[in-house]
Structure 1
């Protein structure tokens, strides 16, 4: 029986060596993926970006992270309705409504999806997870607007559609148990631009009155402004490239005079006073970071109550990854809390300063690291050792 015992020992040793080699390979791969020209990334961010940039997950669009897994924000089940609403002339655009079950009336949030203002880069479908989660977390009616996009429809089609949908929501609030006196706007990237433009249009056109605005990493200017983040994170590796930004500008605003319009470039608007309280969330590794933060400062200087938070260690579009990235969950939680406070009339003003939120710490950091290595092991096992190249 000694030979059997020896074979068993050898098998255990071989298994241990195999596991050790796998762990070392995974650790080495993650280490390589964390190293970028713009700085060292947290493990989870590095793994997610590597998977996307090497086409290891299905992308819906180029500038927004894909829906990796499905999920909501907890709470009671929501009612969903898809319909079309009239905007300009005989034109109708799609909207998707998520609302709590019950009589309400519930606060209304108009959500404007990102996607560089261009066909094929974003839609109601690609941003469905954020919309559902906001509705669940805020106990609000959330209306996602499918505004028209370039190249077929240039400025101002997108903002006029979005404003018409805002007016429609106010007029028809009773049909979906919404409160017409409590309407907020929210959006990400290009949708963040549209969301804040809605506050300008509502002010300039005398309504509807907007309670608050939440802007996730918004584009705030089409002009050629010297912004450091546009220079150092413009490669596209962080999910938004200079090439895409220029293409969006050429297609959405083909005439240079459009770039200075306050409804395209609110950062350079002459008048930003009398706008609703704002929460602006930016990402460290994002070409739009600096203009979002500059816009927050301009709002504050114009007398608007502003909260601004930069999330460390994450990229453009990170909130869309809330199902797999803790920082995305933090961002969604912050936005939901801000909206609940605004809707309840309990927002407390405080001196403005940019808050910098660190990467997950403590148990959340341990969980992020473990999940990052697990995902990396899966990717390596599925595609082979060629993934070791950065």
Structure 2
């Protein structure tokens, strides 16, 4: 009897020691992942970046981590989806993906332009599907994602001509999908943010459809070589965008240097930014494109354009696409949806004069939630790393 009790006590102590050792290993790993040359990262940002940069999960820039560690809400959306092709100049066709609410409408229209460095293999309407779908659901709008042509097969201006043609198609065919042609918004991330704001310039210059608003998520706003601290500081690629990729994008998308000075590639240097729609510009602290996005917000404000600009601290390029994993991504998506709802309802109010808003890392319950989930993800990643190592040894 006594021997059995001693055995149970020993097993309990052993299991307790193992739990403490595992927790210690997770804590040390997360601490090390948080430590970078550019500053200390929040736990959730650190583990997500570690997973991506070490190929520990099957991710590209926008695909989600496994649901078992994300806390993702289940359930289906009442949205209707349709994939079609439209003709663009050059006698070719490009894909569109349309998400729309059920009902008669008419619903506001959001033209969405995906990121991906303007080149093949870095992004398309499939990699951005979660974000496109979420915007439609949260704004009660029709979202039309444009599969514009990309380099190296199609150089500038193919992408923007495709994108503008898609706007004209959306206006002409609004009645077929319960859209409101009087409420056309443009939105995009990274390279798509560049295209989105270029659409406002093209629509103005060509006397095209009136654009209601523009939403630019961490946009690229210049192809020119100008001093930008964030491009120098976060150029390694660890934060999901490298200087090498940026140079490759410029070389393939705009192979002639004269293209770099066009307002349709480098709106930051455009001489005329008058008569453009209200803008929401979201940037990320750990992002090589941070400074040019914020500089573009300042220039729009100088021309009297209503601008709301928010920098999210503690996160990297592309963070809004990770809204199912990162609380800051959820905040960014909420801000985007709120801006679009307000502008489409004629209720947008932006304080004057212009001022960049800085949103700090999650606090309170949201911080606890992020950190708890970060440790859960870290445990998953470490377990997967150990399993992969064991499999290789066999």
> Shared fold by TM > 0.5?
yes
**Partner residue of 2:9?**
9
Deviations 1:220-253 (A, max 9, x none): 0000010000000000000000000000000000
Aligned-pair CA distance for 1:91: 1.3
Aligned-pair CA distance for 1:69: 5.0
**Partner residue of 1:356?**
358
**Gaps (5+ residues) in structure 2?**
390-394
**Partner residue of 1:286?**
287
Distance in 2 (alpha carbons) for counterparts of 1:207 and 1:293: 27
**Partner residue of 1:21?**
21
Distance in 2 (alpha carbons) for counterparts of 1:364 and 1:168: 42
For 1:316-331, what aligned pairs fall within 5 Å after superposition?
316-331=317-332
Aligned-pair CA distance for 1:260: 0.2
Deviations 1:272-317 (A, max 9, x none): 0100000000000000000000000000001100000000000000
Q: Does structure 2 retain, via aligned residues, the 8 Å contact 1:285–1:316?
A: yes
Q: How many residues align?
A: 384
Aligned-pair CA distance for 1:65: 3.6
Deviations 1:153-210 (A, max 9, x none): 0000000000000100001000000000001000000000000000000000011100
SS at match of 1:56: coil
SS at match of 2:275: coil
SS at match of 1:118: coil
Distance in 2 (alpha carbons) for counterparts of 1:369 and 1:133: 24
Distance in 1 (alpha carbons) for counterparts of 2:74 and 2:363: 22
Distance in 2 (alpha carbons) for counterparts of 1:339 and 1:385: 45
Are positions 1:114 and 2:115 aligned together?
Answer: yes
Distance in 2 (alpha carbons) for counterparts of 1:74 and 1:140: 19
**Partner residue of 1:274?**
275
Aligned-pair CA distance for 1:92: 1.1
For 1:174-323, what aligned pairs fall within 5 Å after superposition?
174-323=175-324
Aligned-pair CA distance for 1:382: 1.7
SS at match of 1:97: strand
Runs of 4+, deviation exceeding 6 Å? 70-75
Aligned-pair CA distance for 1:72: 8.2
Instruction: Answer with 211-220 or 88-97: which moved more.
Output: 88-97
Q: Does structure 2 retain, via aligned residues, the 8 Å contact 1:69–1:323?
A: no
**Partner residue of 2:375?**
373
Aligned-pair CA distance for 1:378: 1.2
SS at match of 2:212: coil
Distance in 2 (alpha carbons) for counterparts of 1:55 and 1:381: 14
**Partner residue of 2:46?**
46
**Partner residue of 1:90?**
91
Q: Does structure 2 retain, via aligned residues, the 8 Å contact 1:72–1:136?
A: no
Alpha carbons of structure 1 residues 39 and 385: separation in structure 2 relative to 1, 3 Å: farther
For 1:342-353, what aligned pairs fall within 5 Å after superposition?
342-351=343-352, 352-353=354-355
Distance in 2 (alpha carbons) for counterparts of 1:35 and 1:24: 17
Distance in 1 (alpha carbons) for counterparts of 2:376 and 2:6: 33
Q: Does structure 2 retain, via aligned residues, the 8 Å contact 1:67–1:126?
A: no
TM normalised by structure 1 equals 0.96
Q: Does structure 1 retain, via aligned residues, the 8 Å contact 2:114–2:128?
A: yes
Alpha carbons of structure 1 residues 356 and 386: separation in structure 2 relative to 1, 3 Å: farther
Distance in 2 (alpha carbons) for counterparts of 1:254 and 1:386: 42
Aligned-pair CA distance for 1:381: 1.5
For 1:336-347, what aligned pairs fall within 5 Å after superposition?
336-347=337-348
Q: Does structure 2 retain, via aligned residues, the 8 Å contact 1:30–1:376?
A: yes
SS at match of 1:276: coil
Aligned-pair CA distance for 1:67: 2.7
Aligned-pair CA distance for 1:386: 10
Q: Does structure 2 retain, via aligned residues, the 8 Å contact 1:73–1:134?
A: no
Alpha carbons of structure 1 residues 143 and 73: separation in structure 2 relative to 1, 3 Å: farther
**Partner residue of 1:66?**
63
CA RMSD of the aligned region, Å? 1.5
Distance in 1 (alpha carbons) for counterparts of 2:278 and 2:384: 47
SS at match of 1:212: strand
SS at match of 1:384: helix
Distance in 2 (alpha carbons) for counterparts of 1:97 and 1:382: 37
Q: Does structure 1 retain, via aligned residues, the 8 Å contact 2:62–2:128?
A: no
